[in-house]
């Protein structure tokens, strides 16, 4: 099954801070890894806030280039609203970007690769992997 990379996984890979995460990524063909527009926006913002915006933006662009990028489109927006409503009814909201990422993963039947399993595990039906764990 194809994986969708969350922002924190991408940051771990870009900063080369976790060999385990890099090894897990290397085990997949680029066609089996996807990113989404929401994650890219968070990475672009991170590059802009850094001490070397141009250099870090180039790193981000090179990193995401081999992967299919999924948009936050109308179908994802509709599912995002449903997820948000369900979580609010349970008193377990999550952040707006995580809602969007969750909707994209569910819409495309993808496994979300994240180290933020505490928050994403609140979303019913969302499959998660944490590559930072052994």
CATH class, 3-129 region: alpha beta
Q: What is the pLDDT of residue 37?
A: 98
Domain ranges of the chain: 3-129
* Cα torsion through 23, 36, 8, 122, rounded to 10: -110
Contact 33, 64 (CB under 8 A): no
Q: What is the pLDDT of residue 112?
A: 98
**Rounded to 5 degrees, what are φ and ψ at 30?**
-55, -30
Q: What is the pLDDT of residue 17?
A: 85
> Taking the chain (134 residues) in consecutive chunks of 10 residues, what is each chunk's mean pLDDT?
97 94 97 98 98 98 98 98 98 97 98 97 98 93
Tell me how far apart the alpha carbons of residues 60 and 95 are, in angstroms, rounded to a whole number. Answer: 23
């Amino acid at each position: 099954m194809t994986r969708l990379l969350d922002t924190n996984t991408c940051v771990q890979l870009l900063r080369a801070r976790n060999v385990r995460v890099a090894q897990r990524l290397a085990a997949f063909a680029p066609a089996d890894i996807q990113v989404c527009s929401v994650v890219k926006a968070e990475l672009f913002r991170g590059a802009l806030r850094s001490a070397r915006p141009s250099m870090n933006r180039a790193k981000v662009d090179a990193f995401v280039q081999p992967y299919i990028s999924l948009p936050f489109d109308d179908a994802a927006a509709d599912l995002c609203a449903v997820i948000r409503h369900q979580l609010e009814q349970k008193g377990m909201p999550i952040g707006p970007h995580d809602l969007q990422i969750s909707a994209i993963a569910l819409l495309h039947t993808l496994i979300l690769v994240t180290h933020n399993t505490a928050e994403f595990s609140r979303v019913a039906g969302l499959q998660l992997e944490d590559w930072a764990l052994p």
